[in-house]
Amino acid sequence: MRKLARPDAVLECERVRSWFVIPAAGVACGGAAIALGMPPALSLAGAAFAAAIRMMTGDAAAALVAALVAPLLAVASLGEAGGATVRAALALAAAGWAVAELARPDDAEVPPLVAVLPAAVAAMLDPSFAALVAITGARLVTAPWPRPRWIVVVPIAGAIVVALAVLAGTRWPGLAAPWFAAAAHPVTPGELATLAIAALGPLTGVAALAGIGVVARPRYAELAIAASVAGALPVDLRAGAIGSATLGLAALLAGLAIGRFAALIRVASGQALAGATAGLLVLVPPAWTTVVAQQSHAHIAHNGRASR
C-alpha cells in the first residue's frame, strides 16, 4: 500500500510551486510594458517586486495574489505617468531584489550577502534608494551567520552614500545633475501631496497608505521599504514631480496592503477572490487611463500624417 506523503513534503512542494509567481509576474509585466510602449526591463522590476512580497508574506493565496497585483500596478502607474526609462526600471528591479534578500529568515541556509549588490545598484541609479546600502550593511553585521571581517565596511559605505545623497540634493549640484537625473524645481510639501494624489489616484493612494502600516515592523525588509519611501520624498520635493521610485514603492505598498486584507479570510479561495477584486479596483483606473491616452496620441499622429 502506498504511503501517504508527509505533511512537510506536501508543504515543501506547495512552497516550490508558489515561487512560479515570480517569473509569472516578470512575464506579465514585460508584456504589459511592451504593450504600453515602455522598456521591457520592467519585467525585471516585476519579478523583483513579486519576489519581495513572496519573501515578506509567505506562500498563502493572499500573498501570491498580492505578488502579482503589485508589479502590474507599478507598470500601470508608470504608464499613466508617461512611462519609465530603462534606468528607472533597473533601479526598481534592484531595490526589489535587495528587499527580497533582506527578507530572508535568520535560519535560512544562505546569508543575504548578495543583497549588497542590488542595494548598491539601486542607490547608484536612484538616490531615493541611498539608504538601502546602510540597511543591508546593518543586516549583515547583526546576522547570526558566519561573516567575513570586511563586512563592517558595508554599513560605513552606506552611511557615506546617504551623506552624499543629502549633499548632492542640497549643496553639490555637480553630483546632483547625473545622479538625480532631473533638474531642480522645488515645491512645497503641500504641492507635492497634490501631485501625489493626482499621480496615484484615490484608490492606489489609500492602499499605499495602508501599506505603510504593514511595513511598520522592526524587520530589515520592511525598514528598507520605509527608508526608500523616506528617501523618495525629498527627491520628489527637489524635482517638483512624482518620480518613478515613488510610483513603484506606492505599488509595492498597495500590494502588501491588499495581501494583508485578503489574508483576513481563512479560506484560500476566498483570499484569492478578495485579493483579485481589490487588485482590479486599483489596477483598472491607471491601466484604462494609459490605454486611452495611447489611443489618443495614435489618433492625433494619424490625423497629422493624413493632413500632410
Res 6 pLDDT > 50: no
- Name every residue whose Cβ is closer than 8 Å to that of residue 247 and which is 6 or more positions away in sequence: 74, 77, 78, 81, 199, 200
Per-residue pLDDT averaged across 215-238, rounded?
A: 92
- Name every residue whose Cβ is closer than 8 Å to that of residue 89 and which is 6 or more positions away in sequence: 33, 38, 39, 41, 42, 44, 45, 244
| Model pLDDT, residue 191 | 94
Q: Which of 3-12, 135-144, 245-254, 277-286 has the lowest mean pLDDT?
A: 3-12
Give the pLDDT band (50/70/90) at residue 72: very high
Q: What percent of the chain is predicted at pLDDT more than 90?
A: 53
- Per residue in 226-235, pLDDT tens? 999 999 999 9
| Model pLDDT, residue 303 | 54
Q: Which of 35-39, 55-59, 179-183 has the lowest mean pLDDT?
A: 179-183
Q: What percent of the chain is predicted at pLDDT more than 70?
A: 87
- 224 or 146, which is more confident: 224
| Model pLDDT, residue 253 | 96
C-alpha cell at 181: 537625473
pTM check: above 0.85: yes
Give the pLDDT band (50/70/90) at residue 14: very low
- Per residue in 86-108, pLDDT tens? 999 999 999 999 999 999 887 66
- Per residue in 145-197, pLDDT tens? 777 788 889 999 999 999 999 998 888 777 778 888 888 888 999 999 999 99
Q: What is the mean pLDDT of the chain?
A: 85
- 225 or 3, which is more confident: 225
Give the pLDDT band (50/70/90) at residue 218: confident
